[in-house]
């Protein structure tokens, strides 16, 4: 197919590319996601990301987080297994066996170990990796079989590119597209009409979502949804585009019956089943 396409990723696209579930499926079919998120001061970030992943169909989820955060969220996420201090273990080069995709960043505190941790993840050539929040730092990426997926909001995009937020917002498609090509990464530039730019020049614009998502923690759930879709989709592009589409759709569904102001980030995972039903 042609590349360098710039277009809207529609509900039809999402409906057509969401993988069908075979009746003989078992938990291994859907793959294990490894989520490095949450810390003593931000345990909820791991919860929001984990719930997003589980509601989006990850077969199994391993959450690498602090002992305190694991204790705080385990009752709410009984489906997951916990790798206590997974962040430090991975910084030392250790990864759980047989993981299909990984995501790092939500609710992690700024630390020196971050670069080592990201390096361990990116050293696995075949592992799809999502870098969010604190894991989005200025660095150089070498060309990799599966490009890393970065999910910056405009402030984080400014941090890694040196461009001003105003400049980025005035030409979102170009800014995301240029960074994706130059650094061989997938850029998910968040905010109204999230832009997804791929290293081959393709750009998709997401039509879903609204200001009900303009709340702390909504990005954390997106990271979990992308992680799950990387486990269940065979195309990385479709996984990313469908995740962003689904995430925005939860807010569109919310405003059909609830006030825009009242939506909380923790409502996102709870709205996923109904949105998924419409896409299936
Ligand atoms: N219209 C549509 N979508 C929106 C809108 C809007 N007006 N406002 C926000 N969103 C969506 C974004 O597209 C994105 O998917 O909500 C999500 C917000 O994600 P983040 O900006 O990452 O916000 P947050 O979840 O609070 O991040 C938590 O990570 O990025 C760091 O500094 C951030 O420490 C904070 C943490
Ligand atoms: Mg965020």
Residue 218 CA, ligand 1 centroid: distance in Å: 5
From residue 107, give the alpha-carbon distance in Å to each of 103, 133, 134.
12, 8, 8
**Residue pair 37/63 in contact by the 8 Å Cβ criterion:** yes
DSSP-assigned letters across all residues of 76-131: T-TT-EEEETHHHHHHTT---TT-SEEEE-TTPPP-THHHHHHHHHHHSTT--EEE
Q: Look at ligand 1, atom 20, and give the residue with the nearest C-alpha.
A: 219
**Residue pair 120/93 in contact by the 8 Å Cβ criterion:** yes
pLDDT at 27 over 90: no
Q: Residue 240's closest CA among 176, 165, 156, 174?
A: 176
pLDDT in tens, 167-205: 999 999 999 999 999 999 999 999 999 999 999 999 999
Taking the CA of 216 as reference, the closest ligand is: 1
Taking the CA of 109 as reference, the closest ligand is: 1
Q: E strands, 200-254, where?
A: 203-205
Pocket of ligand 1 (CB under 6 A): 133, 153, 156, 190-192, 194, 209-211, 213-214, 216-220, 222, 247
Residue in 218, 246, 250, 272 to alter for ligand 1 test, most ligand atoms within 8 A of Cβ: 218
From residue 164, give the alpha-carbon distance in Å to each of 25, 118, 205.
47, 25, 21
**Residue 2: what pLDDT?**
62
Helix pair angle (218-232, 267-279), 10° resolution: 40
**Residue 241: what pLDDT?**
98
Residue 232 CA, ligand 2 centroid: distance in Å: 23
Residue 25 CA, ligand 2 centroid: distance in Å: 33
Residue 25 CA, ligand 1 centroid: distance in Å: 34
Residue 106 CA, ligand 2 centroid: distance in Å: 7
pLDDT in tens, 144-169: 999 999 999 999 999 999 999 999 99
Q: Residue 45's closest CA among 31, 59, 75, 65?
A: 65
pLDDT in tens, 252-279: 999 999 999 999 999 999 999 999 999 9
Q: Can you read off the two tokens belonging to residue 23?
A: 């009746």
Residue in 41, 196, 209, 253 to alter for ligand 1 test, most ligand atoms within 8 A of Cβ: 209
pLDDT at 1 over 60: no
Atom of ligand 1 nearest to the CA of 193: 2
Q: What angle do CA 47, 117, 268 make, to 5 degrees?
A: 20
- State the pLDDT confidence band at 26, using cuts at 50, 70 and 90: confident
């Amino acid at each position: 197919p042609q590349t360098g396409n710039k277009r809207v990723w529609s509900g039809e696209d999402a409906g057509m590319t969401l993988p069908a579930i075979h009746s003989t499926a078992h938990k291994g079919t859907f793959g294990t996601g490894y989520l490095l998120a949450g810390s003593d001061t931000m345990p909820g970030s791991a919860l929001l990301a984990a719930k997003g992943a589980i509601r989006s169909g990850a077969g199994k989820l391993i959450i690498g987080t602090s002992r305190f955060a694991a204790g705080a969220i385990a009752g709410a996420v009984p489906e997951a297994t916990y790798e206590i201090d997974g962040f430090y273990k991975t910084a030392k080069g250790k990864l759980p066996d047989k993981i299909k995709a990984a995501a790092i960043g939500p609710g992690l505190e700024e630390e020196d170990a971050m670069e080592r941790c990201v390096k361990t993840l990116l050293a696995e050539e075949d592992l799809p990796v999502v870098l969010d929040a604190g894991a989005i730092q200025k660095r150089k990426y070498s060309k990799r079989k599966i490009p890393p997926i970065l999910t910056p909001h405009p402030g984080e995009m400014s941090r890694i590119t040196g461009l001003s937020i105003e400049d980025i917002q005035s030409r979102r498609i170009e800014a995301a597209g240029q960074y994706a090509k130059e650094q061989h990464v997938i850029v998910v530039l968040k905010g109204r009409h999230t832009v997804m730019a791929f290293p081959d020049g393709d750009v998709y614009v997401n039509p879903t979502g609204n200001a009900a998502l303009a709340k702390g923690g909504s990005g954390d759930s997106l990271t979990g949804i992308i992680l799950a879709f990387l486990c269940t989709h065979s195309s990385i592009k479709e996984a990313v585009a469908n995740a962003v589409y689904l995430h925005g759709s939860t807010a569109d569904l919310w405003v059909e019956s609830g006030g825009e102001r009242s939506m909380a980030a923790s409502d996102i995972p709870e709205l996923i089943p109904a949105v998924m039903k419409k896409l299936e």
